[in-house]
């Protein structure tokens, strides 16, 4: 398998890891908020917004890359 064939699955796995980390960090953010640190939780959620904004582009790009030519 050429190295270029490894790129789409690699990017898919990296994206999957990113989304899993996002979910875990959101759980921690909720936990922090429940303990009275709403400002910290808000800051964390604000940082996670970048992942949300980029998710659709990443999915579309991966779909294009994985489409056979």
Q: List pLDDT tens digits, range 31-63.
A: 999 999 999 999 999 999 998 889 889 888 888
Are 10 and 62 spatial neighbours (Cβ–Cβ below 8 Å)? Answer: no
Give the pLDDT band of residue 64 (cuts 50, 70, 90).
confident
Nearest residue to 12 via CA among 69, 55, 45, 50: 55
Q: What mean pLDDT do residues 24-28 have?
A: 96
Q: Is 29 exposed, middle or buried (0-12, 13-18, 19+ CB in 10 A)?
A: buried
Domain ranges of the chain: 12-66
Name residue, tokens 């959620």: 45
Q: What mean pLDDT do residues 20-28 have?
A: 95
pTM: 0.74
More confident residue, 1 or 65: 65
């Amino acid at each position: 398998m050429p190295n270029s064939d490894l790129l789409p699955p690699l990017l898919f796995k990296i994206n999957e890891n990113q989304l899993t980390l996002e979910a875990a960090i959101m759980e921690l953010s909720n936990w922090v908020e429940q303990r009275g640190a709403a400002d910290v939780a808000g800051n964390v959620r604000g940082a996670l917004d970048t992942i949300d904004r980029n998710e659709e582009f990443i999915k579309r790009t991966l779909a294009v890359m994985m489409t056979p030519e």
